[in-house]
Chains A and B, each alone.
Chain A
Amino acid sequence: MSAELDQKLEALTDETLAKGLAVFREHLKEAEAGFLNACVRCGLCADSCHYHRAEPRLENVPGRKLDHIASVFRAHYTTFGRVAPGLVGAKRFDRDMARAWVDAVFGRCSLCGRCSLNCTIGIPMPALFRAARRALGAMGLVPDDLQANVENSLRHGNNMAIEREEWVETLEWIEEELQAETGDPQARIPVDKQGARCLFTVNPREAKFFPLSLQASAKVFWAAKEDWTLASEAGWDLTNYALFTCEDDQAAAIVKNLTDAMTRLGCEVLVIGECGHGYQSARWMGPEWLKSAFPFPVVSILELMDQYLDEGRIQVDPTKNTQPVTLHDPCNLVRHGGISEPQRRVLRRAVNTFTEMAPRGIENYCCGGGGGQLAMSEYRNRRLKAGRMKADQIRATGAKVVAAPCHNCIDQLSELNKEYQLKVHIKTVAELVAAALVPPTSTPSSTPTFAEAQP
């Protein structure tokens, strides 16, 4: 735990603790109250957690993390917890418990939800860890560097504080690269195109560190003759770190950038680039934060690429991707997002040898970078240690390329690559598709027939 966080914990007053408890209580609904009554402490969740797999100790057992929260619930909100706290393990919310919460829900959890699937009862534990994170947020106990990402998004419209001029210049530069790569001077990266069918959103890391990733997506759109655009103002960044701080008001303000851009530009479909938490934020949590259904579908670029291939709008030659490829399943995209098959269909077509990890899909291990872990430097060592499961999974496939449809995961996987000497290349799915693209003929494509992926 960082010295700053430790100081904040030491300085906690009774009023602050009461405020945190009130926020926790406010966050609980019928479902969470049910979950908090349900745990039987069987301990079978232990090995479902990558933290526990990497370091088998009590504090890494999901049931233990949950029990810190449930014990407070029992003490403050159940009759028998007040009458016989020692018998049922009820504990008041005090400074020590706040410290235990910080350590459990920020320091030892990536909100990956693998424990939910493996829980004997079926308790969706991240829902309760979120309630705890939110309470800690109200007490000023969110790790500073995680909160800084949220502040950047609120102030600058993107989490890396990229100014508009820099963003637009980057896009112009990538567009030139795209034209050079495709040999087509008409290949464009449209910006603020009014009435474009798709508004594409990206992780700011693509602009800062991974321009080839953005270029790859643009190349796919070019090949599919998609009618698309990026926004120059707020509304191009798909990230939302308030998903991890669990401050719903701030999360709502950030996701509103996307809905405002859709309205401003008159687009039909919001396309989320390869980012797990960005997808969950926009597709699933956004409407809940804004308390209204979106009047447009939200789709992942993985679904779009799958559809392009299925409809023959793009052609790929798998012999252009000769190295064996495996696929990482980002938790927010797969286990919490429901997108597990499109990327597999795409890869089976776009690469020569595709090898699955074991386990895979919704059972896959978190890379360790989720839940805001990458943004919390104080837990870096734990994060890398917990990533050992993923490293072992990758190594066991014998793959030379890891397709990771999430930029946060890519960062973590890149660190794991060095830490565990994996000697693999880590790429987005779009990068592999772009590499395999068969250049389109000059014949104009038929009218886009994209059937909305959502009802």
Chain B
Amino acid sequence: MSVVLTLGVLASATWAVAGLVLLRAEARAYGSRALHAAPAGDPAAGVRYAFTGAMSPGAKESVREHLPSYFAGLAYHGGIFTALGLLLLALCDVALPGRILMGARILLGLGVLGGLGLLLKRLLKPELRRLSHPDDVVSNLLATAFVALALTGPVTAWMLSAMLLLIYVPLGKIRHCLFFFVARRHLGAFFGRRGVFPPGGAHVR
């Protein structure tokens, strides 16, 4: 891989990380809220549940009733993280063994299908289309292209797509790669403290 492309990707990644750090710092600058009510449950247990059981189909109606979207989302994110892993390996000039590479390619393929499926859903469902902003389409296209090019190449195009994606990360909704964790941690702590998460909370006997 050319040095220029490598440096370009590294610079873009630095931009993405710096942007996310800055966004997080901006959010933190709003200050935290002191809590005074005596807890009924364990916030830490709530956070653990928020990142595990609370996301499962059994606990989440929106998942149960939208399993195709759920699995498309899983595949899409699986593809994105696989492509990011491959990008890291490519930057380090590390080659994967054939079987693992095949597995990665399957994940990439599923990721592309998931990304395109979600994009089509957004464009075809009137309510979802009206809910959307251009950012939603741009974010999807950038990420899906990145995954697709990881699968098909050429490498130069893949690297360029990686740069574009990384540059866009802190600008649009892809920032949820950070704020998903922030929001879900707060959700878990809130409901954990009140004894709502995990289910039954403080009152189970």
Chain B residues whose C-beta falls within 8 Å of the C-beta of A58 in the assembled complex: 127, 130-131
Interface magnitude class on chain B: 35 or more
Of chain B, the residue at the smallest CB distance from A35 is: B183
* Interface residue? B92 (CB, 8 A): no
Given contacts A37-B179, A340-B201, contact A88 B135 (CB under 8 A): yes
Q: Which residue of A lies closest to B65 (CB)?
A: A47
Contacts of A86 in B (CB 8 A): 134
Contact of A43 among B127, B133, B183 (CB under 8 A): B127
Q: Is the CB of A43 within 8 A of B194?
A: no
Contact: A345 with B195, CB < 8 Å? Answer: no
Q: Is B26 an interface residue (CB 8 A)?
A: yes
Give the contacts of B183-205 with A (CB-CB under 8 A).
183-184, 186-188, 190, 194-196, 199-205
B27 contacts A by Cβ under 8 Å: yes
Question: B residues 45-101 with Cβ under 8 Å of A?
Answer: 50, 54, 59-63, 65-66, 69, 73
Contact residues in B for A61 (Cβ distance below 8 Å): 127, 131
Q: Give the distance in Å from the alpha carbon of A33 to the alpha carbon of B33 in the complex.
A: 12
> Is A38 a contact partner of B200 (Cβ separation < 8 A)?
no
B61 pairs with A87, CB closer than 8 A: no
B37 and A38 within 8 A (CB): no
Most buried by A among B34, B37, B54, B201: B37
Interchain CB contact under 8 A, B133 and A345:
no
Instruction: Please tell me which one of the listed residues B27, B38, B183 contacts residue A455 in the complex, with CB atoms under 8 A apart.
Output: B38
Distance A158 CA – B69 CA, assembled complex (angstroms): 48
Residue B120, interface by CB 8 Å: no
Is B176 a contact partner of A341 (Cβ separation < 8 A)?
no
- Listed stretches B4-12, B157-165, B167-175; interface member: B167-175
Task: Decide: A341 near B27, CB < 8 A? Known: A34-B179, A47-B65.
Answer: no
Residue of B35, B183, B199 with most chain A CB atoms under a 10 A cut-off: B183
Identify A44's interface contact among B69, B176, B184, B199, CB under 8 A.
Answer: B69
Interface mask (A110-151 → B, CB under 8 Å = 1, otherwise 0) = 000000111111111000000000000000000000000000
A56 to B180, CA, bound (A): 27
Judge whether B155 is part of the interface by a CB distance below 8 angstroms: no
Docked-complex contact A32 and B30, CB < 8 angstroms:
yes
A297 vs B35: C-alpha distance when bound (angstroms)? 16
> Would you give the shortest CB distance from A24 to chain B, in whole angstroms?
12
When the two chains form the complex, which single residue of B66, B184, B186, B205 contacts A345, counting CB atoms closer than 8 Å? B205
Task: Please measure, in the bound complex, the distance between the C-alpha atom of A363 and the C-alpha atom of B53, giving whole angstroms.
Answer: 14
The complex places the Cα of A374 from the Cα of B70 at a distance, in Å, of 36
Question: Does chain A have a CB within 8 A of B44?
Answer: no
Which among A193-201, A282-290, A393-401 touches the partner chain? A282-290
Known: A34-B179, A41-B132. A122 touches B173 (CB 8 A): no
Scoring A42, A119, A124, A288 by chain B CB atoms within 10 A of each residue's CB, the highest score goes to: A42
Partner of B183 from A48, A122, A336, A339 at Cβ < 8 Å? A122
Closest A residue to B31 using CB positions:
A29
A48 & B26 in contact (Cβ 8 Å cutoff)? no
Is there contact, CB below 8 Å, between A359 and B200? no
User: In this complex, what residue of B is CB-closest to A343?
Assistant: B203
User: Provided the pairs A58-B127, A337-B194, A339-B203 are in contact, do residues A37 and B175 lie with their beta carbons within 8 angstroms?
Assistant: yes
Say yes or no: B61 contacts A33, CB within 8 Å.
no
Instruction: List B contacts of A18 (CB < 8 A).
Output: none
Are A37 and B184 within 8 A (Cβ)? Answer: no
List the interface of chain A (C-beta within 8 A of B): 28-35, 37-48, 56-58, 61, 63-64, 67, 80, 84, 86-89, 116-124, 283-288, 290-294, 297, 303, 334-342, 345, 359, 361-363, 453-455
What 3 A-B pairs are tightest by C-beta distance, nearest first? A89-B133, A338-B195, A287-B36
Q: List 12 A-B contacts (CB under 8 A).
A: A35-B183, A84-B171, A88-B135, A118-B61, A122-B184, A124-B183, A124-B186, A334-B196, A335-B196, A361-B199, A455-B38, A455-B39
Please give the residue numbers on chain B whose beta carbons come within 8 Å of chain A beta carbons, in ascending order.
Answer: 23, 26-28, 30-41, 50, 54, 59-63, 65-66, 69, 73, 125, 127-128, 130-136, 138, 171-173, 175-176, 179-180, 182-184, 186-188, 190, 194-196, 199-205
Contacts A29-B32, A338-B40 known; 8 new A-B pairs at CB < 8 A: A33-B27, A37-B27, A41-B136, A88-B173, A123-B187, A290-B36, A362-B199, A454-B40
